[in-house]
Structure 1
Amino acid sequence: MKHQALGMIETKGLVTAIEAADAMMKAANVALMGYENIGSGMVTVMVRGDVGAVKASVEAGLEEGEKIGEVITAHVIARPHTDIEKILAQHNLKVEEELD
């Protein structure tokens, strides 16, 4: 993960996830890793970047997501262990372009 923070928001419904992701991307310089349909209508959106940017991004996504739907949880891992990449790779969650 190249020592970048990992931010996640889990929502109930795709529309809420898209709204949260839009706010996350507009709020800070982060890279969208993708999303995962968890099941039972839950969707998780993941971003990565510098710790401060990821925190700001997740806060913005949480705020906007709660305006239109249900946010189950939001979390930032400031320094994810390198083995976390194995979990992300299983779900094809890789950043294709680097941050500016």
Structure 2
Amino acid sequence: MPFAVGVIQTLGFPGVLAAADAMVKGARVTLVYYGLAERGEFIVAIRGATSEVKPAIEAGIEAAKKTPGCAEISYYIVPNPPENLEAVLPIQYTAKVERFI
């Protein structure tokens, strides 16, 4: 089963929190990364089956847009990322971040 990576960038912490919550509740995905992007912008990344990541990202974008004072800046989905991408970016499954089964 091919796995994908989905990323949402928001303006403000409440927006990224709402997006992360909506994504993990909306589909069978794993939250693999969260961090500060720049200038009050935050980023959250999820992994899961390609068919699950797209609806999760859509739910996260909708949640971020509905959060007062926050906005969705950008988003991106990478279907079936190559191994070297996992080696460079913090998107791999670890003991701390186990794959959702």
User: Does the pair score TM above 0.5?
Assistant: yes
Q: Secondary structure at the match of 1:99?
A: coil
Report whether the alignment pairs 1:53 with 2:27. no
Q: Secondary structure at the match of 1:57?
A: helix
Identity %: 32
User: Which consecutive aligned stretches of 4+ in structure 1 deviate over 3 angstroms post-superposition?
Assistant: none
Q: Which amino acid aligns with 1:32?
A: L
Counterpart position of 2:100: 99
Aligned equivalents of 1:19, 1:87: Cα separation in 2 = 27
Matches for 1:62-81 after TM superposition, within 5 Å: 62-68=61-67, 69-81=70-82
Counterpart position of 1:42: 41
Offset of residue 27 of structure 1: 0.3
Q: Which amino acid aligns with 1:28?
A: A
- Provide the alpha-carbon RMSD of the alignment: 1.5
What TM-score, normalized by structure 1, do the two folds share? 0.88
CA contact (8 A) 2:2 2:50 kept: no
Q: Which amino acid aligns with 2:99?
A: E
Aligned residues: 96
Aligned equivalents of 2:100, 2:89: Cα separation in 1 = 18
Offset of residue 3 of structure 1: 4.3
